[in-house]
Structure 1
Amino acid sequence: MSRFLLKNWPTIFLVPFFFFGTALSQIQIHSKVTPDTLAPGEKGIFFVTIRLPKEIHLNAESGLFKVEPEKNPQIQFQKPQYPAYIKTASGPIYKDSIQVAIPFQLKKGIRSGMDSLFVQVTLQKCSEDQNVCYFPETFRTGARVVIRPLSPQTGPKGISEKLAHALKKGSGLAFLIAFLAGLLTSLTPCVYPMIPITLAVIGAGASGSRWSGFFLSLVYVLGIGITFSTLGIIAAKTGSLFGSFSNHPVVIIFVSLVFFAMGLSLVGGFVVQMPGRLRAGLGKTSAKGLWGAGLTGILAGLLVSPCITPVLVVILTWVATQGSVILGFGLLFSFAMGLGVLFIVLGTFSGVLKTLPKSGAWMEAIEKGLGILLLAFSVGFFQRILSPFWAKHLWAVFLVFLGTFLGAFTSLERQSTTKQKIQKAMGVLFVLWAFFLMYSAFGERKEALSPKFQAEHFSQTNGWIRSEWVAFEEAKRTGKSILLDAYADWCAECRELEKKTWPDAEVQSLLRNFVLLKLDFSVGEDSTKALQKKYKILGMPTMIILSPNGEELGRTTGFQPPEKIISFLRTYVPYN
């Protein structure tokens, strides 16, 4: 027996280590740099993912598990961010999958080309089957990053980056860039509600010439720019949410009533006896003058608080931190003028409408049509403070009014013209549409109260959490990053995200890598104001990636189509 032991002692000694080596071979360590292409001075994240077999765990706070980046004179690493551990009777441990994030920044003097980043991973494996911990081991893993040169071709690419670059240099091009950004924003859903107002106000006030419509539109847009810029400066300097004032319930009710009264006066419903000065600024007659157009534009400027865009973020941040109020006003005014180009074109066209027919009946029909546009706008604007159930009822009332106006309940006689018959048919269709809306509103309300619908609706939202505290607890438990979606009911681009971006199949697949947190900023309560300041949210929509410890990893603003949000999310998915 002793001879056998002496002859085979190396094999017998290595038997325990053979089983340990089997477990070790199943441990996977992956590393990834996101984004994998950076320019000097830009930031990235080094992700290290460790996958453990079921029978192995790591001690979390024994000092024997750590991820340390190797020193690189051209790269500045930050403190590694470890995921939340699992609490057990013997102490905190890690199991299954561990993801460690190390933020870093390339120094400005780094050369272009390709560089490698390395980290040292020290860990102590413990076997749950044998209740034993082995000697600590250190592993080296790395990933490559492509460093692109800073040149005119690879400088600031987006319009917001160009604006930030111009502001930093003090270049007058900043005003031109802000104007172009406003021009692009005028093609987004945020300004769609302004189209009927422009057509109605300018169309009613123009004297029938193209130049008359143009000058009225120009004065109207100047009024919009004054209000828009003033609200932007106030928001930047007070730290309030851009667009929140314009969407206060009191403002919504007041503006809706004013435009509703203007619409009624245009369709000839009745004469609204408002105070003389207000009537002089907003009434039907005054809209024909430059002062009327300007005052109406100032009031309409309350409505042109578009959903936040990257360019607006740059301007508001610059004004809030270090910029001059006068220059900030000029930048916002330039943005508003770009935004108003569409309104000038529409206003000029609506002014030409009156040159087409020479008959008084035609002019009266056009005026009533423009009045109906204003009434429709007032209803659409007022619905922001209503639930979907009551919003449908409000639209139903409007459709009944429209149907009645077209003659749905007027008896036809033998001598009735074809035009009168078509009008009555359209009126009847509008009334039927109104009853259909009311019927569908009650049906949706009944269905929404059913347990089955609520369960299905929750699963379709893919588990968005509404509580900040709950989201962070879940992130610490799972080690996942948090995707914070800041939205408001009054934000048109937020609704576009809900309809077009979040339901996308590939987006939904990527969302599973995050803890999803949705914060509602529709009402300016103290709690939401605190969150807005905490996360430096300037407007809606804003999407922020946060680590489980609350550190911001990245953000994007404004409406993002599926392909852009996919690219954004992939940057923060460590290993898939």
Structure 2
Amino acid sequence: RVAPIPEGDAAPTRTLNPNPVLFGLSDLWSGRDDVASIKSYLENAKPFYLFAGFFILGIALAFTPCVLPMLPILSSIVLGRQDGGPISKTRSAYLALAYILGMALLYALAGVLTAALGSGVQRALQSPIALILFALLLLFLAGSLFGLYELKMPQAWQNKVDQLAGRQKGGSIAGAFSLGAISTLVASPCITAPLASVLGFVAQTGSMALGGGLLFVMALGMGLPLLLIAMGARSFLPQTGAWMMWLQRGLGLVLIALAIWIVWPAMSVVAGNQNQTSPRTEKRISSDLVFQVVRSSEELERILQRAKAENKPVMLDYYADWCISCKEMEAITFTNPEVAKAMSRFVLVQADVTINSQQSQALLKQFSLYGPPAILFFNGAGDEQKSFRVVGFMAPSRFLERLQELGAK
């Protein structure tokens, strides 16, 4: 049984539509940075509506920046040619379904592992080592797209696959399955609030069957737009020819760009490790915003107690150098003049969990978090305003609204 989520003192709650008939894509997607609302729905929904909600969530996640780059890759697979002939519609369906199944099975495995091991899986996927491995994998795939080498299964395995598929012409079903799994790895470093809340819910239930089933259904939803695009793209794309070679090279460039984008934040960790003898205790975002940096629960507790004694509200920002959404919050949201002005009344604290140490794990577990970014608010009495938590990136306008609601309490 999952423990209920406590609500803030008289704070306005943000709940998803409890009516299963009206529970739709817009409800779920509009609450993408309200992690407590999503978890509240997960804990109270009936199994049928729970799985339906996860399927809809998957459709929404298919249009995030992490998944969209895989669309042209899938299209290039199902629209390819073999032995000078176009791939049939039936073969296209097999390839697209193989891609989706590969993605769904890996997400199901992630759900099972998360239920079994708790927050450690989520944290491990965000570590600098994991990000670097993902980037190297993308570079390896890019090399094959540039023709440096060819990725093939052993011939005996390929023959068996062809026999099972009825020896139809076209691309490799095993290759499509593998790329589906790889697309999961590409998306995993991008921590969105829905995925963070899902993994948090799964970790709390401890049910491996439920965890695997929910993420499997979510991945099927993610794959639905891919399947529709793959099946419909044949009608409006030109005949295959020399342009396919340029498309392949272009996809290679996309994978290289993705590798750089994923690994770039992790590089700052290496640079930061050069100065571990004198870690910074303050971080200046702008001339008016200075965060006190803490790296342990003891340091955080001292600041919270001091703010409580002075009856000052606190804004606690969980941050890591390798966290892309954390960088976006600092560069886009915190630097907004109106947001910065509203933040100035808070004691600003940043919990730096860049290094996956026991102290960082303790900081996250202290408030049942599964990784950055997360922003918590405390009133002058030292009580957290739980319904105002922010998990994931939030645009300046919405974050300003959140701060104004806090000021009205």
Match of 1:463 among 290, 303, 306: 290
Where does structure 2 lack aligned partners over 5 or more consecutive residues?
32-36, 81-85, 159-169, 272-281
Distance 2:64 2:288 in 1: 25
Task: Report how far residue 228 of structure 1 moved.
Answer: 2.6
Distance 2:181 2:240 in 1: 32
Q: 1:67-466 to 2 correspondence within 5 Å? A: 159=28, 161=37, 164-165=40-41, 167-189=43-65, 191=66, 194-200=67-73, 202-204=75-77, 206-207=79-80, 208-209=86-87, 211=89, 212-240=91-119, 243-268=122-147, 270-271=148-149, 288-305=171-188, 306-310=190-194, 312-313=196-197, 315-322=198-205, 324-345=207-228, 347=230, 356-359=238-241, 361-387=242-268, 458-460=285-287, 462-466=289-293
Task: Report how far residue 323 of structure 1 moved.
Answer: 5.9
Distance 1:530 1:456 in 2: 21
Matched, 1:480 2:364: no
Partner of 1:553: 385
Matched, 1:506 2:333: no
Distance 1:378 1:478 in 2: 47
Distance 1:307 1:230 in 2: 18
Matched position secondary structure for 2:351: strand
Structure number with the higher helix fraction is: 2
Matched position secondary structure for 2:246: helix
Matched position secondary structure for 1:288: coil
Task: Report how far residue 536 of structure 1 moved.
Answer: 0.6
Partner of 1:87: none
Please give the per-residue CA displacement for 1:362-406, whole angstroms capped at 9, x wherever unaligned.
Answer: 33222222223223323333324223999xxxxxxxxxxxxxxxx
Paired amino acid for 2:149: V
Matched position secondary structure for 2:369: coil
Matched position secondary structure for 2:397: helix
Distance 2:187 2:117 in 1: 20
Rg larger in structure: 1
With over 3 angstroms needed to count, the CA separation of the structure-2 counterparts of 1:565 and 1:463, relative to structure 1, is same
With over 3 angstroms needed to count, the CA separation of the structure-2 counterparts of 1:352 and 1:489, relative to structure 1, is farther
Please give the per-residue CA displacement for 1:65-111, whole angstroms capped at 9, x wherever unaligned.
Answer: xxxxxxxxxxxxxxxxxxxxxxxxxxxxxxxxxxxxxxx69xxxxxx
Matched position secondary structure for 2:187: coil
Matched, 1:529 2:402: no
Paired amino acid for 2:249: K
Match of 1:544 among 376, 380, 391: 376
With over 3 angstroms needed to count, the CA separation of the structure-2 counterparts of 1:187 and 1:262, relative to structure 1, is closer
Please give the per-residue CA displacement for 1:168-225, whole angstroms capped at 9, x wherever unaligned.
Answer: 2534111111222232233344x2xx44344235515643558455543332232222
Instruction: Provide TM-score, normalisation by structure 2.
Output: 0.71
Matched position secondary structure for 1:479: coil
Distance 2:370 2:219 in 1: 17
Paired amino acid for 2:340: Q
Distance 1:254 1:511 in 2: 37
With over 3 angstroms needed to count, the CA separation of the structure-2 counterparts of 1:496 and 1:347, relative to structure 1, is farther
With over 3 angstroms needed to count, the CA separation of the structure-2 counterparts of 1:346 and 1:465, relative to structure 1, is farther
Distance 2:373 2:308 in 1: 25
Paired amino acid for 2:203: A
Task: Report how far residue 526 of structure 1 moved.
Answer: 1.4
Paired amino acid for 1:335: M
Partner of 1:84: none
Matched position secondary structure for 2:290: coil
Assess if the C-alpha contact under 8 Å between 2:77 and 2:176 holds in 1. Answer: no
Q: Percent identity?
A: 24
Partner of 2:275: none
Task: Report how far residue 462 of structure 1 moved.
Answer: 0.5
Assess if the C-alpha contact under 8 Å between 1:265 and 1:271 holds in 2. Answer: yes
Distance 1:457 1:548 in 2: 23
Please give the per-residue CA displacement for 1:312-353, whole angstroms capped at 9, x wherever unaligned.
Answer: 52x434433346321222222222333334444555577779
Distance 2:76 2:404 in 1: 49
Paired amino acid for 1:245: A
Paired amino acid for 1:200: I
Distance 1:479 1:351 in 2: 65
Assess if the C-alpha contact under 8 Å between 1:203 and 1:370 holds in 2. Answer: no
With over 3 angstroms needed to count, the CA separation of the structure-2 counterparts of 1:292 and 1:173, relative to structure 1, is same
Partner of 1:420: none
Assess if the C-alpha contact under 8 Å between 2:111 and 2:202 holds in 1. Answer: no
Matched position secondary structure for 2:73: helix
Assess if the C-alpha contact under 8 Å between 2:307 and 2:380 holds in 1. Answer: yes
With over 3 angstroms needed to count, the CA separation of the structure-2 counterparts of 1:488 and 1:201, relative to structure 1, is farther
Partner of 1:414: none
Number of residue-to-residue matches in the alignment? 355
Instruction: Provide TM-score, normalisation by structure 1.
Output: 0.52
Assess if the C-alpha contact under 8 Å between 2:128 and 2:269 holds in 1. Answer: no
Distance 2:175 2:96 in 1: 11
Distance 1:569 1:273 in 2: 52
With over 3 angstroms needed to count, the CA separation of the structure-2 counterparts of 1:299 and 1:42, relative to structure 1, is closer
Distance 2:218 2:371 in 1: 16
